[in-house]
Amino acid sequence: MDQFALFASERAGFFVGWGTLTLINAGLAQGKNRGGLLWWVLSLFLGPLATLILVILPKVRAKMF
């Protein structure tokens, strides 16, 4: 039973870290005037790759009208 508990706790840490990264990416996307929800979903699948893409992409300019 101890081995299962250790395995479950290690996996939980991975999911908490991945979930935190998705929230950070959503905030970063909104800071660059991009859709936070879209980037949150993309981050669920792409993870750190989505962060790299967001950092490289330029900020979207606001529309004048």
> Does any domain span residue 33?
yes
The two three-digit tokens of residue 57, written as one number: 């992409």
Report d(CA 43, CA 23) in Å as an integer: 9
In a domain, 49, yes or no: yes
Residue 63 domain flag: no
| Residue 46 lies inside a defined structural domain of this protein | yes
39 belongs to a structural domain: yes
Number of domains making up the chain: 1
pTM for the full predicted model: 0.79
**How confident is the model over 14-40, as pLDDT tens digits?**
888 999 999 999 999 999 999 999 999
Rounded CA-CA distance 3/20 in Å is 26
65: in domain: no
Flag whether 38 is in a domain: yes
As a whole number of angstroms, the distance between CA 52 and CA 64 comes to: 29
pLDDT in tens, 40-58: 999 999 999 999 999 999 9
